[in-house]
Structure 1
Amino acid sequence: MSNTENFSNRWGIILASLGMAIGAGNLWRFPRLAGQYGGAFIILWIVFLFIWSIPLLLAEFSMGKNFRKGVIGSFAHLAGKRYTWMGFFITLCTLGIAFYYSVVTAWSLRYLTFSVDQLFRDTSLLGQLAVQPNYMQDYWAEVSHGSIVTLVLYIGCVMAGVWVLSKGVQKGLERTNKVLIPSLFVLLLVIVFVSLSMDGGVRGLEYMFAIDVNHFSNGKVWIEALSQSAWSTGAGWGLMITISSYSRQKEDVALNTFIGALGNNTASLVAGMAILPAVFALASSEADAITYLQQGNQALTFTVIPELFAHVPGGGILSVLFFAALSMAAFSSLLPMLELMGRNLQDLGLQRKQVMLWVAGFFIFFGFPSAYSLDFFNNQDWVWGLGLILSGMFILFGLAVFGLKRFKETYIDEHSDLQISTRYFQGAVVCNLVLGCVLIYWWMSQGFSSHPWWDDSGQWNMFDTYSNASIITQWGIVILVGVVLNSFLYRKFAIKQ
């Protein structure tokens, strides 16, 4: 893939944007939150799409399209040599996510094969659960802790992604997304139809869109809506910079960004309409349905969903469809994560074959701990998932350094038939800098660890899975390395080779 290769047309880059944004979070996190908070959450989630996500995506698309480099080089051109280390943090933060996210693809494939296997067993899953009530919890523990099968599948997913990308933008990434994204939507729509056909299925849909005004006074609902929008759309990841660096020179920044962002939200709504009716139809009461949803992302997806599907005729087929959709969503998001590292290595002047070898090696090595240990996976999700907010704030800071009005008129408005208000863009950037600080403070104040900073012996609690000390330590190391290497990074990534 040469630096001059572009997507063949607008739909190529839109599908790549959708593939980047539509991932496991759409299928497992959004339905959980929509089920807990209903229409109030959905309204706020849509509001934050326009306040937080779209302005950031507009900026990232423009950076990649105009600077034609990876994240580090593009950020250096935006904010200047002095702040190149921020681009380094954005890159390492997204790679930190990518190293463990590839494991989600392997988990999804394991459950897909599990669901297919259940179709041909003499004893149904429901029968197995009757004999062994903790059957799905035990299976999840086996999959997520030290499983050789999971490790092999994880390596296979990385190598499959590298193989796709080695074929280039048009023959690899674009062609693959033309299959994955439409297939994903079709599978979700089939699940919607089946779920709504269940007795009581409509009850879940009614609950999803019912508006409880009391939720608007709950700060947690606001934060959950903001974080879901930020993480689901990919705003602040730097992935859009990577994708748009292969866009055509006259690509419409604003129109493409809005289509991609709204397409991602549509996928989330369809996923919610697929999962919530099934949960509410199969739960014995609304209280039980809410209890299922509150069990968390992984528990809902890998233990509750298979058990729920086992209780209805044809549930085995529904389980296969769900995990096929989840596998497609996870793999489509993995591809741009692999490419993010590849694009930065290309900026160093490496040949594509060398780049792919480095990408495969780094992902297999650094993702191995997450594939082997769920605790390590959860720690990386905790540290770098929150790190995305800091990454987004760095991009916003870079825009402020460059000049908000100047950036919009020079890079966003150029070749854009869809014109957005300059005041809207400026106001959103300023507002988001405040929102980012609030979100980081709120998240770190939730007390997910009993010892967020210091352990009982007074030691810095950096090895606790959910401690704030772990977040600050890992962020600090990356920032320190970036600052020390700042001049080197600028010289290698920003100055044209």
Structure 2
Amino acid sequence: MKDKRESFNSRWGFILACIGSAVGMGNIWMFPTRVSLYGGGSFLIPYFIFVVVIASTGVIGEMSFGRAARSGPIDAFGMVCEKKGKRKVGEGLGMIPVLGSLAMAIGYTVVMGWILKYAVGTFTGATLAPKTIEEFGGRFGTMASAFGNNIWQILALILCMCILIFGVGAGIEKANKILMPIFFTLFVILGIYVAFQPGAAAGYQYIFRVDKAAILDPKTWIFALGQAFFSLSVAGNGTLIYGSYLSDEEDIPSSAARVAFFDTVAAMLAALVIIPAMATTGATLDQGGPGLLFIYLPNLISSMPGSTIIAIIFFVAVLFAGMTSLINLYEAPIATVQEKLHVGRKTACVIIAVIGVIVSLLIQGIVSDWMDILSIYICPLGAGLAGIMFFWIAGKKYVETQINKGRETKFTKMYYPICKYIYVPICILVLVLGIALGGIG
């Protein structure tokens, strides 16, 4: 069974898939807001630090763990615990990140339904049709209510499954090779356009200012940690499962560095588009989340020269970024169904799609609370469990063997102790801070 496991066809196919899983709504509707709220450069400094720390520990660890196990979290955790005579315990714990990935994918499906409706609406004129901020807000409120966007939501899920049904190389890899370059190209175009708008310079000053009070504020560091942690998709599921499709010839530390770099570029591009765009109207960015994407930005875009073209470019780019993340979230449960029920790819996709359609339709009115629970509790818990399994239970020799596969020179000997004594406690810290502050991701 494991000898026939699918794999990525190329190194860049894998890297682009991982970039696609990392680049999502957090980069677009949360990162610019946090840059704005927490002192611009004062936020960027700790953010960059935490990106380096997490990419060089947790991201490498989850990729290596997946490749070593050649399976998803359930078998990976079970394999490690089997040495202690506790395979069933490991498999039970492995269910947490798998179910977390499915639940996150279901919540994300609701959001993707909104994005698909807005992206199509940029071509028909519906997206920019409202005339006031109140009208934009009212329309979004209707769409985001219980059973308020059924058809578009189902279409988004079908589109995702049509990609996943082709498998890893012909589906996930090919989709990301197309969607990710287009996403970056479109956001670069938007960035150039915004740069030539009157007042944009004030936005750049706002982004790169360094506020001493902000950099000394613990909240700046806490939310920078949360942003980096969730943006890099360490949760014991998606990154681990993508790693399981890698050959032993791949240099995982180098791949992780590229993923972190391009994820950070995506976040910065979003900030360099959205914050200067807000500055052209004299507005300050204090509204994050769905409201920014579906109320404030459409209202802003509608007042800009060439608004229709700008809206098309923006929402198509957002659609592509969201779709690549949704693909990653659904892959872990699909792969698990394949492994545990011994069914084909198509059957596994149909099973998960049916669950996704039913549950996502039922949670439309409560999706915000649904996603908050997952980001506060399940994602850091999954990352922490994967870290404990790999760095504490599997042991030093095993870890160093796995991370050095495919490398010409051995990775730093400090990797294991840093992950064991710094990264794993960071996962626990993210969980505790998220509970205490009502979410930091």
Q: Where on the TM-score scale, by shorter chain, does this alignment land: which range? A: over 0.9
Q: Matched residues in 2 for 1:346 and 1:76: separation?
A: 17
SS in 2 for 1:421: coil
What does residue 73 of structure 1 align with?
Answer: 75
Does the CA-based 8 Å contact 2:160-2:326 persist in structure 1?
Answer: yes
State whether structure 2 residue 368 is matched by structure 1 residue 378.
yes
Q: Secondary structure at the match of 1:134?
A: helix
Taking the aligned partners of 1:400 and 1:424, their CA distance within structure 2 comes to: 10
- Would you identify which runs of 4 or more consecutive aligned residues in structure 1 move more than 6 Å? none
The answer (yes or no) to whether the contact 1:57–1:236 under 8 Å persists in 2 is no
Cα distance, 1:166 vs structure 2: 1.4
In the alignment, structure 1 residue 6 sits paired with structure 2 residue 10: no
1:235 deviates by: 1.2
| Identity value in percent | 23
SS at match of 1:445: helix
Aligned to 1:176: 175
Q: What is residue 217 of structure 2 aligned with on the other side?
A: 218
One-letter code of the match for 2:421? Answer: V
SS in 1 for 2:8: coil
1:201 lines up with 2:191 in the alignment: no
* Partner in structure 1 of residue 17 of structure 2: 16
For the pair 1:362 / 2:363, whether they are aligned, the reply is no
Shift in CA distance, 8/439, structure 1 to aligned 2, threshold 3 Å: closer
Residues 134-166 of structure 1 deviation map (CA, whole Å, 9 limit, x = unaligned): 110111011111355x21111111122112121
**Long gaps (5+) in structure 2:** none
Instruction: Quote the residue 1:433 is aligned against.
Output: 424
Root-mean-square deviation (CA, aligned residues, Å) is 2.1
Q: In the alignment, residue 286 of structure 2 is paired with which amino acid?
A: Q
Structure 1 distance, partners of 2:416, 2:50, is: 13
Separation in structure 2 between the aligned mates of residue 114 and residue 282 of structure 1, nearest angstrom: 24
Residue 151 of structure 1 aligns to which amino acid in structure 2? N
259-268 or 51-60, which deviates more? 51-60
Measured at CA, do residues 67 and 435 of structure 1 come closer, stay the same or move farther in structure 2, by a change above 3 Å? closer
Equivalences for residues 54-93 of structure 1 within 5 A: 54-80=56-82, 81=87, 82-93=89-100
What 5-or-longer segments of structure 1 have no aligned partner?
Answer: 449-465, 467-497
1:101 to 105, 108, 111: 108
1:135 maps onto 2:168 in alignment: no
1:86: how far off?
A: 2.1
Aligned to 2:26: 25
Whether 2:124 is the aligned partner of 1:117: answer: yes
C-alpha distance in structure 2 between counterparts of 1:308 and 1:94, whole Å: 34
Tell me whether 1:414 sits opposite 2:408 in the alignment: no
Whole-angstrom distance in 1 between the partners of 2:218 and 2:170:
46
SS in 2 for 1:28: helix
Shift of 1:269: 0.9
Letter in 1 for 2:49: V
Give the counterpart letter for 2:320 in structure 1.
M
For the pair 1:405 / 2:396, whether they are aligned, the reply is: yes
Q: Residue type matched to 2:360 in 1? A: G
Question: Structure 1 residues 418, 380: CA separation in 2 closer, same or farther (over 3 Å shift)?
Answer: farther
Q: Deviations over 1:1-59 (max 9, x none)?
A: 99422211111111111111111111111111112220111111111112234311111
Aligned residues of 2:52 and 2:260 also touching (Cα < 8 A): no
Closer, same or farther: CA 177–393 of 1 in aligned 2, 3 Å: same
Return the alpha-carbon distance in structure 1 between the equivalents of residues 236 and 278 of structure 2: 32
Q: Please name the residue that 1:335 is paired with.
A: 327
Cα gap change, 1:308 to 1:429, in 2 (>3 Å):
farther
Report the AA paired with residue 145 of structure 1: S
Between structure 1 and structure 2, the one with the greater Rg is 1
Letter in 2 for 1:118: G
Matches within 5 A, 1:261-340: 261-283=260-282, 288-289=283-284, 293-340=285-332
CA deviations 1:264-293 (Å, max 9, x no partner) are: 11111111111111011122xxxx41xxx2
TM-score, length basis structure 1: 0.82
Displacement after TM superposition at 1:237 (Å): 4.2
Count of aligned pairs:
430
Q: CA deviation at 1:202?
A: 1.9
Equivalent residue for 1:487? none
Name the structure 1 match of 2:152: 153
Quote the offset at 1:323 in angstroms: 0.9
Q: Is the 8 A contact 1:15 1:178 kept in 2?
A: yes
TM superposition shift of 1:379 = 1.3
Tell me, yes or no, if the aligned pair for 2:236 and 2:385 is still in contact at 8 Å: no
Q: Is contact 1:230-1:236 (8 Å) kept?
A: no
